[in-house]
Structure formats: C-alpha cells, structure tokens
Amino acid sequence: MNVEDFLRTHPRRSGDLDVLAACVKACFGCAESCTLCADACLGEEKIDTLRRCIRLDLDCAEICAATGAVVARLTEPDAQVVRAQLQACIAACRACGAECERHARHHEHCRLCAESCRLCAEACEALARTI
C-alpha cells in the first residue's frame, strides 16, 4: 500500500491526487532526512560548527511531519490553514536546505538533506498552487 492508494479511496478526495501524494511523501521523506542529518551532525567531531544546522534540521523535521499530516487529511480542510502550513514548510525547507548546503562539501548527510529539503519545498509549492 502507498499514499496514492489511500488518497484514491478517500470519500472526500478532490483536486490533483498526484500533486497531493507527492507533497505528502516529500514532507514525510524530508522529516526523515532532517532527523537523520541532525543525528549524523551530532556524531561529527566539529559539532560546534554544525549547531545551526542541527537546530534547523530538527525544526524542519517537525514542520515537515506536521505538514505531511495536515495536507493528508482531506475531510473538511480549511484552505487558509493548509496554505499557511505549506508556506511554513517551504520556509523551513529553504532555511534548512541552505544551511545544509553550506556543509555539503564536508558532510554527505548534509548534501542529501539539502536535496530532500529542495524537493519538499518544490512539492509544497506545487500543492499550494492548486489550493
């Protein structure tokens, strides 16, 4: 089973389910990536240089997880709330991605996280355009 299967069975489905499913998956994937990146940063020797990265990873992970949950709930959504949540996720992903990109040359986990953040921001932007 996957996200698309659940969304197709929902009695209140509407709009472009592919865009919605892509956003849900990107959000939860980014939450995982950011959590894993934060933990890897904590294991690095020069942790002081990664403090901001860790903070943004953890913030982004929480915001992405919340966004994935909010947009996946199709019953009686408030468009203004959903748009605001998507904008918060885009902002968190941009900030975290930019910080991780600063460390990407030295830490592969940061490079991967920056990529996940970019993909999540794009998926959230795509969904926001449909609301």
Q: Does the pLDDT value for residue 9 go beyond 80?
A: no
Residues 84-127 have pLDDT tens digits of 999 999 999 999 999 999 999 999 999 999 999 999 999 999 99
**Cα 28 from chain centre:** 6
* CB contact at 8 A, 24 and 72: yes
Please state which of the ranges 11-15, 54-58, 108-112, 113-117 shows the lowest mean pLDDT: 11-15
pLDDT at 35: 98
Q: Does the pLDDT value for residue 10 go beyond 80?
A: no
Please state which of the ranges 6-20, 49-63, 65-79, 114-128 shows the lowest mean pLDDT: 6-20
Tokens describing residue 37? 């990146």
pTM, 2 dp: 0.94
Backbone angles phi, psi at 106, to 5 degrees: -105, -20
Tokens describing residue 82? 């959903």
Classify domain 15-130 by CATH architecture. Answer: Up-down Bundle (1.20)
Q: Does the pLDDT value for residue 16 go beyond 80?
A: yes
